Chains A and B, each alone.
Chain A
Amino acid sequence: MLTLEGLTVRQGGFELRADFSVRAGAMTAVIGPSGAGKSTLLSAIAGFIRPSAGRVLWQGEDLGPLLPGERPATVIFQDNNLFPHLSAFSNVALGLRPSLKLGPAEGAAVEAALARVGLAGLEGRKPAALSGGQQSRVALARVLVRARPLLLLDEPFAALGPALRAEMLDLVAELARDTQATVLMVTHDPADAEQVAEQVTFVDGGQALAPVPTGQLLAEPPEALRAYLGQRKTRP
């Protein structure tokens, strides 16, 4: 279980509070207007921002003292998920060994992960020689080899077209099932949430609300969410 215990994050003049738990293995979408603090929430969980109050706990353990790389989490950022000077293979291998010194079994695991996301045969390519969708797949292969229990996605597919994005979301859902990962996924599109997330946390006005089942939230959106979605009171 991921627990945000009285968490307060301050950045400049901006403050975000969160106080809720997420069941292990759940897939949670984080939605809200831009600038509301969705990415800030993820950054605090990933360890990039030190909270000014409260704690982040995973299975009861306080993550506070841990560096980002030591936390039980894999992060996929909006961009810059791959090093352009390294091959697809090395980019995935970094998830296992930051030194890139792999044993034979680890090398095989990297190749298997790349094959699993449909990139068999492209191990030697550098990111510039891959399409946008393929680049996303490399980042997802790294999720597989890291096999960390938490997966934090910060709008990683925002640059892809609708069809490709839907495809990637399905792949994320599959991989999360395979690795039994607990997923937090920032998105600005409620359709993404509907497609893969069982619950949604809505971030607005400096507050991340406790997650609510996706169907329920979108069927009867509270006032602030309705304003954000910009639609009629009830969905047809």
Chain B
Amino acid sequence: MAGRARQLNLAVGAGSAAAAVVLALTLGTLGAVAWRAESAARLGPSDWAAVRFTLLQATLSALISVALAIPVARALARRRFAGRGVLITLLGAPFILPVIVAVLGLLAVFGRAGLLSQFLGRFGLPPVQIYGLHGVVLAHVFFNLPLATRLILQGWLAIPAERFRLAASLGFSERDVGRELERPMLREVLPGAFAVIFAICTTSFAVVLALGGGPRATTVELAIYQAFRFDFDLGRAAGLALVQFAIGAAAAGLALRFQVPQATGGGLDRVAGRPEADSPGRRIADTAWISLAAAFLLLPLGMIVLRGAPALFGMPPAVLAAALRSVLVALSSTVLALALALPLAFAMWHLRGRRLAGWLEALGYLPVAASPLVIGTGLFILFHPVVDPVALALPVTVVVNATMSLPFALRALVPAVARVEGRFGPLADSLGMHGQARLRHLHWPRLRRPIGFSAGLAAALSMGDLGVIALFADPEQATLPLQLYRLMAAYRMEDAAGAGLLLLVLAVALFWLFDRGGRVNADT
């Protein structure tokens, strides 16, 4: 069985190499941070305030997202209307939406000069204030209400239609259906949805950078950035990075303890007949919830397009240069993400059932708990004695972005590899298809859809990322999200609007191109 052993060794070897890279980037950089933090001054009261604010905003964001998602998901579960499918697809869009672009859109609606303030002004009311805790929570709800809605909708649609039919035949009222069918489902789904959103919000950086700040609205992530960038207090940055990792790991651990329903979008198009909810009042309420949620999502996006379109042509050269840089960073980090994810996925398949496979899988999901700023701080500590960190700004961004998208790539690729090898592996073995032949005639044709999807996600996430780049870059090396943030900070809102639309278009286009490329002419 020499050939099989060779094949196994190759897959396991490549997978182990990928695992070593991920390990070095997550736990290795953390080790560097811990080593540096040893000599650090102890954390002061402002740092503990940052910890409290991190937990407070994450709790509020998760609670409000989930609470609002319940009526929206219920309305989507029991109503059929034109555009329902499109709306549910759009609920997945915030995932690839650059955070800083969303903030720009939210400012256009909820900011001092935004639509809402203008509307209030007509009645002589003062404009609304978006900066601070409620601005941070608003932006987090904007991103996570759709996610919560998808997760909860999945739970609703997992209740067999026959149960609702049985309830109808027994003459259940809406209250009876709620007690017997819906509340038990919610009790199962809600903790998981809450935990996931809480975890996401503890590591959020760009939102807090743009809308938070000051002594009363600084998260740990933002405090790391400030200690690093403004005070150049590496010891304090390292101490904060350790705190951040502890919070991230605890939040991810919490999320893993609950069964998180998969929001893959499959089967979201079924609607069970629900006579108990057929009264005009119920219909109006559901319509209102769906319209409000849709408006909340679409208005900011619409404002980006509306305000950005006039400025799209005639953008400053610095913006165009940043855009080019960002596309190159996104493409490189996409290649790297796949170069890590594919060997890991194949190694997991070859080692299936063994303990090592479990370790590889755990390692692949480690970046969920890691924070880009912690990785960035660690890399800086490791490299600044030898190289000028500014020169490494873009390569480090490529590497960190690839690592951060690894869990999402694995989530698509690991089951796909298992499916393909499980179904067609024996046939390919019996025909002697190894190496090149297996790659070309089995793996590529059957894996190109998940590969395209993963690549699209990695590219869009990297394109829109505003994280580690903010630590390192000087003005000559800004990526488009960083450039956009600088324009916003300088109140050059017209240029910002153009840059925001450009960033949105590029992120969506990259996702679409890769995802589409995987689908075209692919036989399932």
Contacts and interface: CB of A to CB of B under 8 A. Distances in A.
Interface stretch (A26-34, A76-84, A158-166): A76-84
A128 interface: yes
Interface in A84-137: 84-86, 90, 94-95, 98-100, 126, 128
Contact of B432 (A48, A77, A98): A98
Nearest to A126: B523
B429 A80 contact: no
Contacts of A47: 429
A46 B441 contact: no
B524 interface: yes
B524 A94 contact: no
B431 A69 contact: yes
Interface string B460-485: 00000000000000000000000000
Given A48-B429, A126-B523, A128-B523, A85 B434 contact: no
A80 B431 contact: no
Nearest to A139: B427
Contacts of A73: 430
Contact of A67 (B1, B441, B445): B1
A80 B427 contact: yes
A186 interface: no
Contact of B3 (A67, A98, A128): A67
Nearest to B423: A80
Nearest to A100: B441
A69 B523 contact: no
B232 interface: no
Nearest to B436: A99
A50 interface: yes
Contact of B430 (A65, A75, A128): A75
A69 B430 contact: yes
B3 A86 contact: no
A215 B429 CA distance: 36
Contacts of B440: 99-100
Given A50-B1, A67-B3, A83 B437 contact: no
A68 B434 CA distance: 11
A226 to B, nearest CB: 34
B430 A80 contact: no
Contacts of B442: 83
A93 to B, nearest CB: 10
B140 interface: no
Contacts of A75: 426, 430
A67 B3 CA distance: 7
B431 A67 contact: no
Contact of B437 (A80, A100, A128): A100
Nearest to A69: B432
A65 B1 CA distance: 5
A199 interface: no
Interface string A27-58: 00000000000000000001110100000000
B493 interface: no
Contacts of A100: 437, 440-441
Which of B423, B426, B440, B524 has the most CB atoms of chain A within a 10 A radius of its CB?
B426
Nearest to A46: B430
A35 to B, nearest CB: 19
Given A50-B1, A77-B426, A69 B441 contact: no
Contacts of B4: 67
Contacts of A167: none
A98 B424 contact: no
Contact of A68 (B2, B430, B438, B446): B430
Nearest to B521: A85
Given A48-B429, A67-B3, A77-B427, A85 B437 contact: no
A84 B442 CA distance: 10
Contact of A85 (B3, B438, B523): B523
A100 B433 CA distance: 10
A130 to B, nearest CB: 13
Interface string B9-26: 000000000000000000
B2 to A, nearest CB: 8
Given A67-B3, A99-B436, A126-B523, A85 B446 contact: yes
Interface in B377-434: 423-424, 426-427, 429-434
A182 interface: no
A201 interface: no
B430 A83 contact: no
B427 A81 contact: yes
Nearest to A86: B441
A98 B430 contact: no
A70 interface: yes
B441 A68 contact: no
A74 interface: yes
Nearest to A101: B437
A74 B430 contact: yes
A235 B1 CA distance: 47
B523 A98 contact: no
Interface string A179-223: 000000000000000000000000000000000000000000000
A98 B433 contact: yes
Contacts of A126: 523
A86 B521 CA distance: 12
A85 B423 contact: no
Given A67-B3, A77-B426, A94 B523 contact: no
A63 to B, nearest CB: 11
B4 to A, nearest CB: 6
15 contacts: A65-B1, A65-B2, A67-B1, A67-B429, A68-B429, A69-B433, A75-B426, A77-B427, A83-B445, A85-B445, A86-B445, A94-B431, A98-B441, A99-B440, A100-B437
Given A68-B430, A68-B432, A84-B524, 20 more contacts: A46-B430, A48-B426, A48-B429, A67-B3, A67-B429, A68-B429, A69-B429, A69-B430, A69-B431, A73-B430, A74-B430, A77-B427, A80-B423, A81-B427, A83-B445, A85-B522, A94-B431, A94-B441, A99-B437, A99-B440
**Closest 3 pairs between A and B when the two form their complex, measured CB to CB:** A69-B432, A98-B437, A85-B445
Interface of B: 1-4, 423-424, 426-427, 429-434, 436-438, 440-442, 445-446, 522-524
